[in-house]
Amino acid sequence: MSGAILSVNSGSSSIKFGLFDVVDGQPELSARGKLEKIGISPRLEIRDREDATIASREWAGQSDLTHEDLLENLFDWAPDNLPRREIAAIGHRVVHGGTEFTRPILIDDDALEKLDGLCALAPLHQPDNLAAIRAMARLAPGMPQVACFDTAFHATMPAVASRIALPRRFAEQGIRRYGFHGLSYEYVAARLHELDPELARGRVIAAHLGNGASMCAMLDGRSVDTTMGFTALDGLVMGTRCGTLDPGVVLHLVQHEGLSASEAEDLLYRESGLLGLSASSSDMRALHASEDPQAVEAVETFVWSAAHHAAALCASLGGLDAMVFTAGIGENDPLIRAAIAARLEWLGVVVDEAANQRNAQVISAPQSKVAMLVIPTDEESMIARHTLSLASAGV
């Protein structure tokens, strides 16, 4: 296929994208960028493959600009300010594929309507994912667009791991454990196979630790269990999300504190987690820098939650051969990695302190019974691979 691939990862307040040239039949990164602070004061930065800034732009004070507005601005601005690329296809991260979409698809009106029906299952992400698809369809009519689903990687989980213990009529309505961050885990699994095929065939926990955080138990590179479930609220304590919660808490909030459904949703998705515990910030860097006891407790709870869920995933795997840290905190925070590892010492985990401090690829000591690695994730690259494959085949 001639032309470039554009990968789009649209979130609630940012849009990350990557531009990939097709070289010898494979996508090769040309540039990547980010539109951030959407809804506040949007800012664009684009970097080349060497990570040098090649373009930037700001829309100071224009908090009313939507995702579609900014993408339209970018399309109008790009030809005169960036090296010319003929885009052949566009790939999108779509958080929820439900039970029907378990692999990437070429988007059509029917698929888009079905994906709209899943917005209630991922209210923080799905509407923005689909807004980007609609914006691109309007800006580039006829351009092939591919949806790549965060839930798809977990379609290999056994029924016992996806089942929720409610009356079976609810399972028939699609209420089950789906899991998320699948594009990140798919990339990490492929990268680990490149680095160490034997280790990749073993029992591996991948820890995607960022503002949204989860873990995935992988056996031979396939998901067998994960910490997020029916929605992206479940599992680990996150930046603003609560993680695993006794359902009775929600009942209490509604029945005795008078919260409406929308107020409860806002509380659990946007006001909880590190932000709720610290009463100051959802940013791990700010919490590390703070001496406030509540900030310290928030970090401690994050670490406890991560180790607790890692131990549970060991039961699903029947042991542990390797643990891989990825995403913003996982790739860049030695303090958090060391603290989680310390709580897993009973597994035979031993961290090389010097390697951990410099964010080395392998951070486990030679005597460690469990290999500990840091592998930067690249969801945009994974999207580009799927997009190239489907757009080239036309199916």
* Burial (CB count within 10 angstroms: exposed 0-12, middle 13-18, buried 19+), residue 387: buried
Q: Could you tell me the sign of the dihedral formed by the alpha carbons of 128, 134, 138, 142, in that order?
A: positive
Q: How far apart are CA 169 and CA 154, in angstroms?
A: 22
Q: How far apart are CA 383 and CA 91, in angstroms?
A: 6
Q: Which two tokens stand for residue 249?
A: 């808490």
The alpha-helical segments, DSSP class H, found in the chain are: 67-81, 109-116, 126-139, 159-162, 168-171, 182-195, 197-200, 247-255, 261-270, 273-278, 284-289, 293-317, 327-332, 334-343, 353-357, 379-393
Phi then psi for residue 155, to 5 deg, are: -65, -15
> Looking at this protein, which amino acid is placed at residue 333?
D
Q: Which two tokens stand for residue 338?
A: 């060391």
Specify whether 150 is catalytic: yes
Phi then psi for residue 273, to 5 deg, are: 60, -145
Rounded to the nearest 10 degrees, how much is the dihedral formed by the CA atoms of 303, 308, 312, 317? Answer: 30
Q: How far apart are CA 305 and CA 58, in angstroms?
A: 38
* Burial (CB count within 10 angstroms: exposed 0-12, middle 13-18, buried 19+), residue 195: middle
Q: How far apart are CA 35 and CA 16, in angstroms?
A: 6
Task: Identify the active-site residue in 21, 76, 109, 150.
Answer: 150
Report whether 374 contacts 326 (CB < 8 A). Answer: yes
Q: How far apart are CA 240 and CA 38, in angstroms?
A: 18
Residues with catalytic roles:
150
